[in-house]
Amino acid sequence: MAVAVLLVLGLVAAWSVLIPGVSAWENIIVALIGSLRLTGPVAAAFAAWVAVRRRRGTGGRALTPWQAVRAPLAILVVVMGSFTATVLVLAVKTMLTEQAGRLLPSGLIMSVAGLALYVTIGWVTGWLLPWTITPVLAGIGCYALFAWLSETSAWADRLVPGTREPYDLFRGLSSAAFADQTLWLLGISAALLLGWAAVVTRQALVLAAALLAVLAAGAGLSRLLSEPQPVSAERVVYSCQEWPIMVCVHPGMRTGLDELGSTFIKIASRLAGTPGEFFRVEQRPRRDDAPLAPGTVPVHVDDLATGFADRAADEFVDGLAAKCDGTPSAGYRDIVTAWLRGEPLPGGPLAEHRYAAAWFSGLTETQRRDWLRLHYPDFVGCRLQNVHFGGRPARAGAAEPEQWPQRLGQRRATDKIGIGSM
């Protein structure tokens, strides 16, 4: 029964941690580790329940070292069985599709070490507090303790069985970090279990083994705290699609190429001929400021959930122009960004914004691209004014709606004459 409950919880928790749409082994490892947030406290509660029953059944009799540790080790085997079943289910899912990256056995071993810590805490708590409510307290206490440690600070986050948040596909996972974390988790688990066994059995040899486990835990802790944070992303061989622009993403997100490409093709066509023109879209980590080749723009795609391409496009377009502090300038900026996104033009809070939106909607796509080519520096510098959109309606000699496209053509011709006479 316990194996079935842990298996179901493990699958549900792992599925909730999976990055939607990402086909990478690292994604599976992170999901399995993330499942411990639910299965770990449940395993602790199960261990506490068995410990309470065992404590009541001993009747105060003396235990040998093997009798003391046999039950918690058996519980760990049961918990490991449910974790193994969860791994197999996810592995079958991943084998049906091509996966990027590589499977890290060190991540799986660290997960088992984390489960050992949960079981040990639950067992010791159940033995020391043989109450009926102890299993519930052990499960809730473990969940609250590890959640608190995860949010306290960067160094405390390394003490819990988990990955450093947020997980970044471009940075990958560190086998060395998993090994150090495994040493710490196994060391502290063995120290707690053997320390409890030394108290119960009153055996000096068991106490000596507990002290050795403390040293191992200390070594793992020192390595964890001294390990530097990753500062650069791993080199990624992109998966690309070219038509009519080149779109490149992490190989684990290659299934999103079609949707991302169709979205950015429209933006590229509207920016054609302007200083913001681009021919290549490349997915990059959010904290990566490395320079890009001319004509290449970076995009950020965190997952492939519904609407991911629109979210990436909105973020890209929003970053083209500076944020406007003044309301009039912000309203004009919103008109242009809405067109670039392919959204309906906003009316804006002021009458001049509504007039500008109506004026801009009267232009053809070609005329809008010509307009943006002429006024691109004003757009990105947040210097757009009513004069850029045909002037205010009350202005003397203001153009009627049917004359707006012709007036724009006249302005373009005037600008060309002025440039040629310089």
Share of the chain above pLDDT 90, in %: 61
Q: Per the structure block, which two tokens stand in for 9?
A: 């919880």
Specify the pTM.
0.80
Higher pLDDT, 153 or 114: 114
Q: Per the structure block, which two tokens stand in for 62?
A: 């003396």
Q: Per the structure block, which two tokens stand in for 245?
A: 């622009």
Q: For residue 191, give the amino acid letter.
A: A
Q: What does the domain layout of the chain look like in residue ranges?
A: 2-226, 239-318, 327-420
Higher pLDDT, 420 or 286: 286
The Cα 313–Cα 310 span in angstroms is 5
pLDDT per position as a tens digit, 115-171: 999 999 999 999 999 999 999 999 999 999 999 988 887 778 888 887 765 677 887
pLDDT per position as a tens digit, 272-282: 999 999 999 99
pLDDT per position as a tens digit, 173-208: 888 889 999 999 999 999 999 999 999 999 999 999
The answer, yes or no, to whether the previous bond of 401 is cis (omega within 30 of 0) is: no
pLDDT-based confidence at residue 96 (cuts at 50, 70, 90):
confident
| pLDDT on residue 95 | 74
CB 75 within 8 A of CB 123: yes
- DSSP class of 160: S
393 has a pLDDT exceeding 70? no
Burial of 309 (C-beta count, 10 Å sphere; 0-12/13-18/19+): buried
pLDDT per position as a tens digit, 2-30: 778 888 888 888 888 888 888 888 888 99
398 has a pLDDT exceeding 50? no
77 has a pLDDT exceeding 50? yes
413 has a pLDDT exceeding 50? no
Mean pLDDT of 369-392: 90
Burial of 334 (C-beta count, 10 Å sphere; 0-12/13-18/19+): buried
- DSSP class of 255: G
Query: What DSSP string describes 322-384?
Result: PPP-SHHHHHHHHHHHHHHHTPPPP--SSHHHHHHHHHHHTS-HHHHHHHHHHHHHHHHTT--
Long-range contacts, stretch 91-98, CB < 8 angstroms, 24+ apart: 91/28, 94/23, 94/25, 94/28, 97/23, 98/23
| pLDDT on residue 296 | 96
| pLDDT on residue 164 | 64
Q: Rounded to whole angstroms, what are the CA distances from 379 to 81, 84, 212, 271, 334?
A: 61, 57, 67, 12, 10
Burial of 400 (C-beta count, 10 Å sphere; 0-12/13-18/19+): exposed
| pLDDT on residue 165 | 58
pLDDT per position as a tens digit, 291-322: 899 999 999 999 999 999 999 999 999 999 98
Q: What is the CA radius of gyration of the chain?
A: 31
* Average of per-residue pLDDT values in the chain: 86
pLDDT per position as a tens digit, 336-348: 999 999 999 998 7
417 has a pLDDT exceeding 50? no
